[in-house]
Structure 1
Amino acid sequence: MRPALHAEWTKLRTVAGPSWLLLGAIAATVALSAGAASVATCTSTGCDTTRLTLIGVDLGQAPVAILAVLVISGEYGSGMIRTTLAAVPRRTTVLAAKAVALTGVVAVTGTVAVLGSSLAGRLLLPGHRAVSPVDGPTLRAVVGPVLYLVLIALFSLGVATAVRDSGTGIGVVLGLLYIVPIVSQTIGDPHWQRLLRQIAPMSAGLTIQATTDLRGLPIGPWAGLGVTAGWAVAALSAGSLLLRRRDA
């Protein structure tokens, strides 16, 4: 496992693409959060300022998902996957090493992005109304998005392993993340609309950011993150099964 992990870390570190995508994730997250905080007109004491300052995660997850897809689909596109599997014949070890390396870089990137967004919110919100992460709900809302980004990366890795094509993998992942919540808004039946928001990886997972009006959410914060984790586990399981059974 250690040689495989070292090889995957070397690939991430020595290729320019991953670094730019990770920087893009930080920039997109902080920029959108700062923009939302700068134009906020929220004056109510019940306003969820913490969630407002972390709204950039909605956009920042896209570069993370694209990076995770390219981690393995890029090797299929170039034919490098044959060399990788020849060097490490146990295919589950290859996938596990990619998942561990990806988890590490995304966790660091997510932490920087979330802290940057929180700082921007404190500076830009009227009256510096962003709450310091000291109480339980606010701490959960700040730590949760980092876990969410890691789960989105693992979900994307699993999808890419299953489909093996960069364009298809990116389309499937971004479609599930962004199109499903839009579709849910077009459904007239409140029951089905709520159900879709409960099972979609993005709308369910991002409830982890909420600190107010928790009873009005379609699903609880930790339960919502659990839904995203379920998507990640299912995608990785399917990807691992297909990786073992198919020819490179």
Structure 2
Amino acid sequence: MSRALHAEWTKLRTEPAARWLLPCIVVATVLVSLFAVAAASCKVGGCGFDPAALSLAGVQLGQAVVVMLAVLAIGGEQGTGLLRTTFTAAPRRIAVLAAKAVLIGGLTLAAGTVAVLGCVAAGRAILPGNGIAAPSLADGPTLRAAVGSVLYLVLIGLLALGVAAAIRDSAASAGAMFALLYTVPLVAAMINDPELQRTLRRFAPMTAGLAIQATTDLDNLPIGPWAGLAVLAAWSAASLLLGALLLHHRDP
């Protein structure tokens, strides 16, 4: 396992795209949060804001960069033919996938932590000037939202890795992930049946997982914060299991 992990780290750190995707996770996440907190105002549109969720709004874009990083770990190798070489050098394909999962999870954890801290700092700096309470990590619900957002990004990376292992095509894997993350909430928003709409939001990976960011009005959520993150974790586990099975039984 250690040899596979070292090999995967060597490949990823020498991949030009990976070197700019990691800082992009931080930049994209923090910039969107900056725009969100700067646009929010108690004087315009009322004061029904959740300071933590508002400050962490950038996670919804940052996850797209995480998806691209995870897809690159397998889909990029498939496109260049490097994946066949990898399996020749390391025939235990499940160990290779496990090494990729540890690597993607660890890198996303590091970048996600920096990004989330930047988002909270942006909220603390800007929201009070707009008449909205500043989020504080000393507050239990806000700390849960921040830690949960980092875990959310890690789980999104693992979900994308499993999808990429199953499809093994960068464009198709990224398309499938973006449809799963962003299209389902759009469909739910267009449905007139409140019960069906609530059900879709409870089990869609993005809407369920992002419930972890809520710190106010929890009774009106389609699913509880930790339960929503558990739904996303189930999606990620199922994706990795499917990817591992197909990776093991399919030709290189």
Same fold (TM over 0.5): yes
2:185 equivalent among 171, 181, 187: 181
Cα deviation 1:101-160 (Å, max 9, x = unaligned): 111100000001000111111111133732211122111001001000000000000000
* CA-CA distance at 1:3 after TM superposition: 0.5
Q: Return the alpha-carbon distance in structure 1 between the equivalents of residues 142 and 155 of structure 2.
A: 20
Asked if 2 retains the 8 angstrom alpha-carbon contact of 1:46 and 1:212, the reply is no
Asked if 1 retains the 8 angstrom alpha-carbon contact of 2:123 and 2:135, the reply is no
Give the unaligned 5+ runs of structure 1. none
Q: How many equivalent pairs are there?
A: 248
RMSD: 1.2
Aligned partner of 1:57 in structure 2 is 59
Q: Return the alpha-carbon distance in structure 1 between the equivalents of residues 123 and 73 of structure 2.
A: 32
**Structure 2 counterpart of 1:108, which letter?**
A
Q: How does 1:20-39 map to 2 (within 5 A)?
A: 20-39=20-39
Asked if 1 retains the 8 angstrom alpha-carbon contact of 2:41 and 2:47, the reply is no
Q: How does 1:53-202 map to 2 (within 5 A)?
A: 53-127=55-129, 129-202=133-206
Q: Return the alpha-carbon distance in structure 1 between the equivalents of residues 162 and 234 of structure 2.
A: 12
Give the unaligned 5+ runs of structure 2. none
Asked if 1 retains the 8 angstrom alpha-carbon contact of 2:162 and 2:240, the reply is yes
Q: Return the alpha-carbon distance in structure 1 between the equivalents of residues 3 and 12 of structure 2.
A: 14
Aligned partner of 1:19 in structure 2 is 19
Q: Return the alpha-carbon distance in structure 2 between the equivalents of residues 17 and 64 of structure 1.
A: 12
Q: Return the alpha-carbon distance in structure 1 between the equivalents of residues 188 and 33 of structure 2.
A: 24
TM-score (structure 1 length as normaliser): 0.97
The answer to whether 1:240 aligns with 2:244 is yes
Q: Return the alpha-carbon distance in structure 2 between the equivalents of residues 158 and 114 of structure 1.
A: 24
Aligned partner of 1:7 in structure 2 is 7
**Identity, % of aligned pairs?**
58
Q: Return the alpha-carbon distance in structure 1 between the equivalents of residues 200 and 235 of structure 2.
A: 14
* CA-CA distance at 1:42 after TM superposition: 3.2
* CA-CA distance at 1:240 after TM superposition: 0.2
* CA-CA distance at 1:83 after TM superposition: 1.1
**Structure 2 counterpart of 1:150, which letter?**
V
